[in-house]
């Protein structure tokens, strides 16, 4: 029996012995995309990969969870204007996720958990949850290390509820995980204050709108990273690991309320 929780470390014989229908296959989703002048392109990948590894390391044995390698390229075309952004079209992304679902369905495990580190994937992945359920009979789940502010999550007061990309929270977590990749001397506040006056059409409002990250400011981030700190990032990271661990426990026993 292996002590590793990495699915790829198992042999074919071990996979058959270790996995059951209640095992959870965990697939983190990252991204390679512009994050303003102060953060690296791989911010979403770094966060998704680190928090997923920590959660599976801590809770994997209890929940029979197994980790797949983090997917680095996803649907990031809201940042397509910026050189260095590596993105998949919606059609390609759906095909990739469908192929992975087909492969997971060939194992004894019937639970597939996506840990999504990039908010631009959320709508597509919510749809794919159902597609994989229908097509392969999998139980599928979508979780986030931190729910984006435009999707019901919280944001710092200085960001007026609109810290959706490269703001204080994301910058803080990167200061905790990879401070060598963060340049706080380039961090500037970029919040679309005019939207805060709207009742419905705004980030987190009842009426969603299509947007590109340079629709608001040329730097490409939306938030206020100037108040970021490694201490806040450490607390946020620990909270995300515990939250994902709680989700994994519920997923391990989930059966549609039966």
The pLDDT tens digits for 50-72 are 999 999 999 999 999 999 999 99
Please answer whether residues 223 and 170 qualify as being in contact, where contact means their C-beta atoms are separated by less than 8 angstroms: yes
Would the pTM of this model clear 0.85, i.e. be above it? yes
Which single residue is written with the structure tokens 């159902």? 130
pLDDT of residue 152: 80
Is the pLDDT score of 258 beyond 80? no
Q: What is the dihedral of CA 189, 195, 198, 204, to 10 degrees?
A: -80
Is the pLDDT score of 187 beyond 80? yes
Q: What is the mean pLDDT of the chain?
A: 95
Which single residue is written with the structure tokens 């296959």? 25
pLDDT greater at residue 3 or residue 190 = 190
Please answer whether residues 54 and 28 qualify as being in contact, where contact means their C-beta atoms are separated by less than 8 angstroms: no
Q: How confident is the model at residue 153 (pLDDT cuts 50, 70, 90)?
A: confident
pLDDT of residue 2: 61
For residue 35, what are its two tokens? Answer: 């994050």
Residue 114 main-chain phi, psi, to 5 deg: -95, 130
Q: Return the CATH architecture of domain 7-252.
A: 3-Layer(aba) Sandwich (3.40)
Give the span between the Cα atoms of 84 and 18, in whole angstroms. Answer: 40
Domain ranges of the chain: 7-252
Residue 82 vs residues 78, 85, 206: alpha-carbon distances, Å: 9, 6, 29
The lowest-confidence range among 27-31, 85-89, 123-127, 253-257 is 253-257
Q: How confident is the model at residue 104 (pLDDT cuts 50, 70, 90)?
A: very high
Q: How confident is the model at residue 157 (pLDDT cuts 50, 70, 90)?
A: confident
Q: Which residues of 203-231 are buried (b: 16+ CB within 10 A; e: fewer)?
A: bbbeeeeeeebbebeebbbbbbbebbebe
């Amino acid at each position: 029996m292996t002590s590793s929780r990495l699915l790829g470390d198992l042999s074919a014989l071990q996979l058959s012995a270790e996995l059951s229908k209640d095992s959870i296959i965990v697939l983190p989703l990252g991204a390679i995309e512009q994050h303003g002048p102060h953060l690296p392109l791989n911010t979403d990948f770094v966060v998704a990969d680190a928090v997923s590894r920590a959660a599976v390391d801590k809770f994997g044995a209890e929940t029979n969870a197994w980790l797949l390698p983090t997917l680095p390229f996803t649907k990031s075309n809201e940042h397509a204007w910026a050189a260095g952004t590596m993105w998949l079209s919606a059609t390609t992304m759906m095909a990739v996720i469908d192929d992975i679902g087909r492969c997971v369905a060939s194992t004894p495990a019937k639970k597939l958990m996506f840990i999504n580190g990039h908010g631009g994937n959320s709508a597509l992945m919510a749809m794919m949850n159902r597609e994989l359920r229908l097509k392969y009979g999998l139980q599928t789940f979508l979780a986030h290390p931190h729910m984006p502010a435009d999707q019901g999550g919280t944001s710092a007061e200085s960001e007026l509820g609109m810290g959706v990309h490269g703001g204080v929270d994301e910058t803080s977590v990167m200061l905790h995980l990879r401070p060598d990749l963060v340049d706080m001397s380039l961090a500037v506040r970029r919040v679309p204050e005019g939207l805060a006056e709207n009742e419905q059409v705004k980030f987190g409002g009842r009426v969603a709108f299509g947007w590109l990250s340079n629709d608001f400011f040329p730097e490409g981030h939306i938030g206020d990273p100037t108040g970021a700190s490694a201490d806040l990032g450490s607390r946020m990271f620990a909270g995300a690991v515990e939250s994902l661990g709680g989700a994994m426990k519920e997923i391990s026993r989930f059966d549609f309320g039966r």
